[in-house]
Amino acid sequence: MAVYTQDDLVDRVLVRLGEVGFGQSAEPEARARVLHSVDGILDELTADRIYDFGGCAEIPGAAFDPLVSIVAARVAPDFGAGSDEVTLLAAQAQGAVQRLRRYRALNASHTYTRADYF
């Protein structure tokens, strides 16, 4: 299973916002602006029981794309996105939240417990 880092997340969000072309490097200020928001968003998603990122540095592959959509929607106004673009990103973020909830449910159903024998 693929895993991603927060740096991968920041790079993909900036590509989604059109701040950089794919494979190009972003301005340090833009990277810092997105990275500053990531921890709070991860904490909020965990606290709301949407998906448990567990404070780890790695992002599971299945959760990566939905997380990109959510972060992009949150930081888009900081990058001067117009209202139409913000509305579109917000709609994509709502779909992403539903995907993360579904992935959380799948992970919970595959959790095994050890039997206690008396």
Residue 1 pLDDT? 67
Q: Is residue 58 part of a domain?
A: yes
Residue where the block lists tokens 């072309």: 21
**Per-residue pLDDT, 75:** 92
- Specify if 8 maps to a domain: no
Are the C-beta atoms of 9 and 59 separated by less than 8 Å?
Answer: yes
Whole-prediction pTM: 0.82
- Is 105 a domain residue? yes
* Both structure tokens of 12: 């993909």
Decide if 9 is inside a domain.
Answer: no
pLDDT of residue 111: 47
In a domain, 118, yes or no: no
On whether residue 4 sits in a domain, the answer given is no
Q: What's the pLDDT score for residue 70? A: 94
Task: Provide the token pair at 48.
Answer: 């709301």
Mapped onto helix, strand or coil, the DSSP state of residue 60 is strand
| Any domain includes 13 | no
Q: Return d(Cα 80, Cα 71) in angstroms, integer.
A: 15
> What is the C-alpha separation between 13 and 75, in angstroms, rounded?
9
Q: Domain total for the chain?
A: 1
pLDDT at 10: 92
Expressed as residue numbers, the domain containing 98 is 24-109
Per-residue model confidence (pLDDT) at position 57: 72
At 76, is the pLDDT very low, low, confident or very high (cuts 50, 70, 90)?
very high
Per-residue pLDDT tens digits for 19-74: 887 677 888 999 999 999 998 999 899 889 998 877 667 888 889 999 999 999 99
